[in-house]
Amino acid sequence: MQITLNSHVRNLIEGSVPEDFSHLPPEQRRKKLQGKIDELSKDIQKEMDQRDALTKMKDVYIKNPQMGDPASVDPRLTEIGQNIEKLQSEVQKFEGWLAEVEERMPSKSDSHRKSGLYETQNSTTVSNNCAQDRESPDGSYTEEQNSEVQVKAQPIPTPTTTTEFDDEFDDEEVLPTIGTCKALYPFEGHNEGTISVAEGELLYVIEEDKGDGWTRVRRNEDEEGYVPTSYVEVFLETNAKDS
């Protein structure tokens, strides 16, 4: 039987890393792309610093010809200009890939980050109301303050739900299963965010492939991560999305 491998699986087997880091799960890919952009930006800054220094040197030569020929600096200035252009086009390329990854991510980790952020903001505003409720038995607040707080807190059910949500946030992060899958090939799972699987192993699917070649699976309560979609055969539950 002949197996056709997609490009990122072929890269993994051949040991070469794709330039756009498409072999990595979304969050790790985003970090790598951002790191590459930062690295290129530093290189651009170095080239610009060199260009500034050479431009100053050329000005000195123009004012004091006995110190050197201004034209001698030109070839190096041209070379630096070309280097900057190349680096800037590289940055644009990586920024394009980064934007592509971030567009696909809101439905997963960004939603957790955002919900976490909103909960933190809510809990800080709510804590002004709820903290007194919690701390009043210690006697750190007077009865007057406590009664005021209860009057404010009672008509609004949101604070309690928000704080409960905060307490259960870790549990909420455990995504519900939407189906099962069977591993067609063994996968090492060396990269951060991935999970190793054995050939023929059955796992729970908790997030479909978002178009980036990765499916998120769970083995048990403590073990979950991404595996290449081409490595598994997925069986989605038809009613999973309705429930």
How confident is the model over 51-91, as pLDDT tens digits?
Answer: 998 898 889 889 888 888 888 889 999 999 999 999 999 99
24: exposed, middle or buried (C-beta count within 10 Å: 0-12, 13-18, 19+)?
buried
Q: How far apart are CA 43 and CA 91, in angstroms?
A: 11
Indicate whether 190 pLDDT > 60. Answer: yes
Indicate whether 200 pLDDT > 70. Answer: yes
Q: Among candidates 203, 202, 207, which has minimal Cα distance to 178?
A: 207
- Which stretch of 18-27, 42-51, 83-92 has the lowest confidence by average pLDDT? 18-27
- Which stretch of 9-13, 14-18, 110-114 has the lowest confidence by average pLDDT? 110-114
Q: Quick one: CA torsion of 22, 24, 30, 34, rounded to 10 degrees?
A: -80
Side chain identity at residue 112, one-letter code: H
pLDDT at residue 13 in the model: 58
pLDDT at residue 131 in the model: 45
pLDDT at residue 106 in the model: 56
Cα angle 173, 178, 180 (rounded to 5 degrees) comes to 115
Q: How far apart are CA 54 and CA 113, in angstroms?
A: 46
Average pLDDT, stretch 152-157?
46
Indicate whether 9 pLDDT > 90. Answer: no
Q: Among candidates 23, 48, 45, which has minimal Cα distance to 33?
A: 23
Domain 179-236 has CATH 2.30.30.40: yes
